[in-house]
C-alpha cells in the first residue's frame, strides 16, 4: 500500500517536473548556468513580463550554457530560426564574442537584436588599503613597471572585463599591452576576493558585481566607465573626468530568431518597452546597480552592428585577435 502510494507520488513528482517545462508558451534562453548575468536577465525580465501581464503564462527560463553563449546562439540560428515564442538573453559579452569571431564563424546578422533595457557600468576597483588613490596612480604605476599590477576579472582572457583596463591604458599612452597581467576567475565576486586578499592589485568588472562590497569598506571603486556619474553612486568619479575618455558598459537585453515576422518582432519590442517602463524594473535596476539604458526596437540593431565593428577593430589593435 505504502509502496504503491510512494510510486504514485514519485510518478506525479516526475510528471510535475516535466510538465512545468512543457506547458508555458514563451521561452527565454539564458545561454549560461544559473547565477550569472544572462540568467538574471531572463528570470527578471520574464518575471516582470508576467507580473505586468505582458504575457499570459509565466516565461519559462531554459539554461543553455556552453561556449560563452555560442551553443545557444548556434541553437537559435540553426534549429529555432522561426520560433516566435523564443527570446534569448544577450549582453556586451554577446557582441564582444561575435566581434572576436568566438562563435565559430557566426555573425551578428544571423539573429535580430530586440533591445537593451539597462546597462551595468564598467568599474575599476582596488582594495581599501591599496596605495592607488585614482585611476592616474594606477596607470602611472603600470607605465613605470607593468609587472607590478595584476588585474582580476570575471571574464576569460580577451573578454570584456580584460578589454576595459586595456582601453584605459591605451588612452593613457601605454601601448605594450601584452605586458599587462590579467587573470580570469569565476565571476566578479571571486575577482574581488582575490583583490582584497592581495593576490591581484585591481579588479575589473561591472557595477552590479561590486555593489554589495561597497558599504562594507573592503574595496574602493577608483573609476566608473560611463559618460556621467551613476545616480546613487555619486561619489565615484568617472574615468572620463580623470582624463581617460573610456566608456564601457555591459548592456542587458534580448535577441530573437532571425526568421520571425516583423509583427512578432514588434510585439516583443513592445513587451520589452513595457518592462523598461515598469516600476518593478526600476526597482530591480536600483537593487542590482544597473544604470538606465533603454534602446528598444529598430535602432538597436544598428547600435549592435556599430558595437561589433568597434570591438573588432579594437581587439585587432590591442592584439587580442589577429
- Judged by the rule CB under 8 A, the positions of this chain that interact with other proteins are 2-3, 6-7, 9-10, 13, 17, 20-21, 33-36, 39-40, 43-44, 47, 50, 58, 60-68, 70-71, 74-75, 102-104, 147, 150, 156-159, 181-187, 189-190, 192-194, 196-200, 211-213, 215-216, 218, 283-284, 287-288
Q: How far is the CB of 303 from other proteins (least distance, A)?
A: 25
Q: Do 229 and 149 form a contact (C-beta atoms < 8 A)?
A: no
Reference 20, options 51, 62, 50; nearest CA is 62
Grid coordinates representing 123 are: 568599474
Q: How far is the CB of 111 from other proteins (least distance, A)?
A: 16
Q: Output 148 or 261, the one with its CB closest to other proteins.
A: 148
Q: What are phi and psi of 23, to 5 degrees?
A: -75, -35
Q: How far is the CB of 53 from other proteins (least distance, A)?
A: 14
Residue with cell 564563424: 105
Alpha helices in 107-261 (DSSP H): 135-144, 160-171, 188-196, 207-214
Q: How far is the CB of 283 from other proteins (least distance, A)?
A: 7
Handedness of CA 64, 56, 251, 295 (dihedral sign): positive
Grid coordinates representing 126 are: 582596488
Reference 90, options 248, 252, 259, 274; nearest CA is 252
Q: How far is the CB of 7 from other proteins (least distance, A)?
A: 7
Reference 153, options 145, 161, 144, 163; nearest CA is 161
Q: How far is the CB of 240 from other proteins (least distance, A)?
A: 27
Q: Output 36 or 253, the one with its CB closest to other proteins.
A: 36
> What's the CA angle centered on 300, arms 296 and 301, to 5 degrees?
135
Amino acid at each position: 500500500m505504502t509502496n504503491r502510494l510512494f510510486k504514485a507520488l514519485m510518478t506525479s513528482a516526475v510528471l510535475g517536473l516535466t510538465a512545468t517545462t512543457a506547458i508555458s508558451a514563451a521561452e527565454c534562453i539564458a545561454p549560461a548556468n544559473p547565477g550569472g548575468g544572462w540568467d538574471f536577465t531572463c528570470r527578471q525580465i520574464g518575471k516582470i513580463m508576467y507580473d505586468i501581464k505582458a504575457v499570459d503564462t509565466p516565461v519559462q527560463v531554459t539554461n543553455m550554457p556552453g561556449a560563452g553563449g555560442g551553443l545557444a546562439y548556434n541553437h537559435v540560428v540553426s534549429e529555432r530560426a522561426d520560433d516566435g515564442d523564443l527570446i534569448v538573453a544577450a549582453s556586451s559579452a554577446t557582441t564582444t564574442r561575435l566581434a572576436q569571431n568566438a562563435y565559430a564563424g557566426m555573425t551578428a546578422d544571423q539573429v535580430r537584436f530586440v533591445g537593451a533595457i539597462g546597462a551595468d557600468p564598467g568599474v575599476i576597483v582596488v582594495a581599501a588599503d591599496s596605495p592607488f588613490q585614482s585611476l592616474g596612480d594606477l596607470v602611472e604605476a603600470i607605465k613605470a613597471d607593468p609587472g607590478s599590477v595584476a588585474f582580476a576579472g570575471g571574464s576569460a582572457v580577451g573578454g570584456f572585463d580584460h578589454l576595459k583596463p586595456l582601453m584605459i591604458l591605451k588612452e593613457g599612452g601605454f601601448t605594450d599591452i601584452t605586458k599587462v597581467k590579467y587573470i580570469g576567475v569565476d565571476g566578479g565576486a571571486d575577482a574581488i576576493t582575490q583583490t582584497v586578499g592581495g593576490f591581484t592589485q585591481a579588479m575589473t568588472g561591472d557595477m552590479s558585481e561590486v555593489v554589495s562590497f561597497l558599504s562594507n569598506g573592503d574595496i574602493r571603486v577608483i573609476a566608473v566607465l560611463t559618460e556621467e556619474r551613476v545616480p546613487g553612486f555619486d561619489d565615484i568619479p568617472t574615468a572620463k573626468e580623470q582624463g581617460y575618455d573610456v566608456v564601457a558598459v555591459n548592456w542587458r537585453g534580448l535577441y530573437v530568431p532571425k526568421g520571425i515576422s516583423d509583427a512578432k518582432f514588434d510585439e516583443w519590442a513592445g513587451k520589452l518597452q513595457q518592462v523598461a517602463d515598469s516600476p518593478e524594473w526600476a526597482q530591480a535596476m536600483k537593487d542590482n546597480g544597473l544604470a538606465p539604458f533603454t534602446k528598444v526596437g529598430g535602432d538597436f540593431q544598428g547600435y549592435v552592428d556599430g558595437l561589433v565593428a568597434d570591438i573588432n577593430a579594437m581587439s585587432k589593435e590591442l592584439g587580442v585577435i589577429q
